[in-house]
Structure 1
Amino acid sequence: MTTQQVYGKSFGGTPAENYQRFFVPSIGAPVADDLIDVAGLQPGERVLDVACGTGVVTRRAADRVGAGGAVSGLDVNPGMLAVARSRTPPDIPVEWYEASAESMPLPDEAFDVVLCQMGLQFIPDKQAALREMRRVLVSGGRVFITVPGPKPPMFAIMKDALASHIDPNAAFFADLVFSMHDAEELAELMRDAGFREIDVRARPKTLRLPAPADFLWQYIHSTPLAEAVAQAGQAKRDALERDVCAQWQQFVVDGTMSFRVGMTTATARK
């Protein structure tokens, strides 16, 4: 299959739609399952999912708390929320909020649990977001935050190739994704925000990803990288694919890729 065929294959949706279609099954959902298990949600609890994206964590939380509970999802991106709404069955009641995590339009002490999966690294004022998470929790309420990193070799390869073949600015996104993994930094931020009983742990997570060319374009079309790559032209896309896929062969096992990434999970109480 040529680069043009792979690049253009089945990517007619928006980045948010592609994120739900491609990123969530391979990465978002397995990580969400781990977060929900760690959170130990109980029936009847009120849960807020911050930076909820297309709602994979939100829906899993709703399943755990049941009809007696209440779940809300908050995200600044209207495209992500539109997909979240469309993918949530009508019998799962979720309140969706289009708002910044740094200034939530929510009352004090409205939730028992706050979740945030792979979103804190994208928030400009992390301290403000953490203080808002604490504000909306009841006394003794729990917060659970996951962030990925450090940058694994697979993504270091993609970052360098993006800088070389597409645009040095496009490579910044790969740095940002894995910019919040330091356990001490995260613990200090949470202490400064007023949380107590803080526990931060880093564990590796192994995921199975599609074959190199498929995953490369699925990932790009699911992220803000899509626009820059689309504007680069076919010759540069060809070069990007050749470079990345040649180096990604080292991760291929039986036609798919084995991806090992660190996941840092922080838990605390108000």
Structure 2
Amino acid sequence: MQEADKVFAGSVPENYDRYMVPLIFEPYAADLAQRAASLSPNAVLEIAAGTGVVTRALAPNLSAGASYVVTDLNQSMLDYAASRQPPDSRIKWRQADALALPFEDAVFDVVCCQFGAMFFPDRPAGYREARRVLKPGGHFLFNVWDRIEENVFANDVTNALARIFPNDPPRFLARTPHGYHDTALIRGELEGAGFSRLMIETKAEQSRASSPRLPAVAYCQGTPLRNEIEAREAGKLDAATDYAEAAIAERHGHGEVAAKIQAHVIVAVT
């Protein structure tokens, strides 16, 4: 993963929440929140919370006495998440690195992470940290995207941009969000971090939008793909977005569009 792949700054958080969250994240956030709430945890840690889609889904389903610590490496994402969350004294917001969590050992019942593990520079270290802060019998719940070919709009945008920039195609989506899809590797890294009981479920959903414009803007302007486009040619962002929109429209139509998304959901127990 390149260092720029971790930069969610400027207008990215707002565009990410406005476009990406309803496009691809909401169904998996609801799933992860349901799994976490079903464990009736008293202490929850969320890693790489982004703009808070899991937080908004999970908090209403926790007990009145539960504590919920929400973290992200990017302060701008965390600030945006906090601004979207209704006042809740159970929630503590804290900037934190998943590879060096600022918490004591064995203090959480559940650690959850929505589509964040792919961004860990050292995933085994992140998994060891999750295990360290979990109580005995605690649960680590997270999800990661399957390969890009199983996530149609992301693949459409990546292929479209490769035609605009044939000499240096922007590969952020394939490289990082969709670059950690090997379930044998995931299982091996978790076992190496000390998790013994594992479940990995591959879950398909539908990505829906009112027009091809929305997924084009979501991916080109609501993720670090924006940084890659702008680095290749100044002033090219709008044209690249337009081209991605046209590619999606050509394949899926000019009105409402829908396409497959697919992810792996992982439950690991200490």
TM-score (norm 2): 0.86
Match of 1:118 among 99, 102, 115: 115
- Aligned mates of 2:260, 2:173 — CA distance in 1: 19
Mind listing any 5+ residue stretches in structure 1 that lack a counterpart?
Answer: 1-12
The match for 2:211 is: 211
What value does the CA root-mean-square deviation take over the aligned residues? 2.3
Deviation at 1:136, TM superposition (A): 0.5
Match of 1:127 among 124, 127, 132: 124
Question: Which residue type is aligned with residue 80 of structure 1?
Answer: M
Change (3 A) 1:205 1:71: same
Residue 183 (str. 1) matches residue 180 (str. 2): no
- Aligned mates of 1:150, 1:178 — CA distance in 2: 5
Cα shift readout 1:168-198 (whole Å, capped 9, x = no counterpart): 3632343311111222111111101101211
Residue 158 (str. 1) matches residue 177 (str. 2): no
Aligned length: 257
The match for 2:19 is: 22
* 1:101 counterpart SS class: coil
Cα shift readout 1:226-260 (whole Å, capped 9, x = no counterpart): 234346355674366336523543334x8222121
Judge conservation of contact 2:220–2:237 (CA < 8 Å) in 1: no
Judge conservation of contact 1:206–1:258 (CA < 8 Å) in 2: yes
Residue 49 (str. 1) matches residue 46 (str. 2): yes
The match for 1:101 is: 98
- Aligned mates of 1:42, 1:236 — CA distance in 2: 44
Residue 34 (str. 1) matches residue 34 (str. 2): no
Deviation at 1:126, TM superposition (A): 0.2
Deviation at 1:269, TM superposition (A): 0.7
Judge conservation of contact 1:200–1:265 (CA < 8 Å) in 2: yes
- Aligned mates of 2:218, 2:203 — CA distance in 1: 26
TM-score (norm 1): 0.86
Stretch moving more, 40-49 or 28-37: 40-49
The match for 2:247 is: 246
Stretch moving more, 115-124 or 153-162: 153-162
Question: Which residue type is aligned with residue 265 of structure 1?
Answer: V
Mind listing any 5+ residue stretches in structure 2 that lack a counterpart?
Answer: 1-9
Judge conservation of contact 1:62–1:70 (CA < 8 Å) in 2: no
Change (3 A) 1:214 1:243: closer
Task: State the 4+ residue runs in structure 1 displaced beyond 4 angstroms.
Answer: 233-237
- Aligned mates of 2:41, 2:131 — CA distance in 1: 20
Match of 2:58 among 56, 61, 64: 61
Deviation at 1:110, TM superposition (A): 1.1
